[in-house]
Amino acid sequence: MRSPSASPDEPPSASPDEPHSATSEEPATRLRRELGLDGAVVIGLGAMLGTGVFIVFAPAAAQAGSWLLASLGLAAVVAYANATSTAQLAAVHPQAGGAYVYGRQRLSPTAGALAGYAFVIGKIASAGAAALAVGAYAWPDQQRLVAVAALVVATVIDLAGIARTATVTAWLVAALFAVLGLVVVAGLSHPAGDQSTLTAVPGETGIPLAGILGAAGLLFFAFAGYARIATLGEEVRDPARTIPRAVNIAFAIIVVIYLLVAVAALVGLGADRLAAATAPLADVVRAAGWTWAAPVVRAGGAVAAGAVLLSLIAGIGRTTFAMAAERDLPGYLAAVDERSAVPRRAELATAAAVLVVVLTGGLVGAVAVSAFTVLIYYAVANLAALRLSPQERRGPRGLMILGLIGCVTLAASLPWQVVVGGAAGLAAALAIRAGAAALAESRR
């Protein structure tokens, strides 16, 4: 890694074409390696099994209607291709920062910066959505107040260290399995939806390709948490072996769960009612006549969003820390707390940015912004993975190409306001970075 004082436009220390060995030896780390396979899987599950499954099926159904399962399958295929690329890169580059590091090492400092800014912007929006979802499920009348409280609690837990974060997340994930199992049984055992809504999309004839793609872009939001495992590359034991296995295990579990929940929601509500739902999974159990279970599902939604918020603060903090070490963000944020071995300043700065989203933003808008920027992030990751040598690759190049094409297609399929706004934000971040570098160069 280059020294923090190096110019952001200087070439990386290793040529993108230079082989990197992936051994089982413990690479050097600036943090503390405390996570094994179980802990890494739990972090990934907590990141994916949360806000998305409780809120994203409704806006996705509004676009895809009865073709929701097709959108879910498409999102899963693109996400799996991205997960494969991410896991291979993380095994070779077990550092905090994820695709930010991969882009710098394999492509260029600017490509890495694009991925880093996309991740930070998108995941801050996602964390804001998670906090707002806690409030929406726990106490709708005081949504923002509860969201702020959840953000404070999540930040305090994360500041205690990654091992504590994994332990708390494990308990939250166990509770979520129980709640989602309840939803699936309710939806499948007592179909209450108008089954005519399962045969067509309102106002559409034939296959609504634009709707399927748009819904897939939103549903990708629900899968994207596996990257949280890669961003913790400096805190996982035996990362070259642990990270790929953890990504694959967590992803496989999530695909099965999402498919079951989506089918239960469509059968229990029908496409029309699902599209109009504000708390879709709670509506599923109510439609089945299980009114007693609605508060349980609402509590589960709050717990799910809390688990996502917990892992997001940790993941964003690590990427912010890595970017600050390379001066793509203020170097002040690169400090590591000696006692807890966490990037305390980076996590506090992350929490402050999420607080702004909580106080000023909306839930669905935050999801759309997060989906767009994270798709850009994974596009850079796939490009970086294509630069892996045959000895470093653990999967076919075709998956990397599929992931890249899928990311670009799904990002372009999101609402044009999100595409234009997200692209403008990323361009502005890169322009500011270039200006800062030019200013620093002129002062030498």
Residues 47 and 228: beta-carbon distance below 8 Å = yes
Domains and CATH numbers, the chain: 37-438 (1.20.1740.10)
**Per-residue DSSP letters for 11-60?**
PPSS-TTS-----SS----SS---B-HHHHHHHHHHHHSSHHHHHTHHHH
Q: What is the pLDDT of residue 14?
A: 38
CA atoms of 265 and 280, how far apart (whole Å)? 7
Q: What is the pLDDT of residue 73?
A: 96
Q: What is the pLDDT of residue 199?
A: 43
Q: How far is the CA of 415 from the CAs of 15, 69, 160, 226, 251, in angstroms?
A: 38, 20, 39, 25, 27
**pTM for the predicted model, two decimal places:** 0.80
Please calculate the CA angle 190-195-200 and round it to the nearest 5 degrees: 145
> How would you write the pLDDT of the chain (444 residues) with one tens digit per residue?
333 334 333 333 333 334 333 344 566 666 677 778 888 888 788 778 766 788 889 999 999 998 999 999 999 999 999 988 988 888 888 776 778 989 999 999 999 999 999 989 998 998 998 899 888 888 888 999 999 999 999 999 888 876 677 778 788 888 889 999 999 999 998 765 544 444 444 455 567 899 999 999 999 988 877 766 766 667 778 877 888 888 889 999 999 999 999 999 999 998 888 998 877 898 999 999 999 999 999 888 888 888 778 878 887 888 898 899 888 999 899 998 888 788 999 999 999 999 999 999 888 788 889 999 999 999 999 999 999 999 888 889 999 999 999 999 999 999 999 999 999 999 999 999 999 888 888 877
Q: What is the pLDDT of residue 10?
A: 38
Can you state the angle between helices 109-138 and 416-442, rounded to 10 degrees?
130
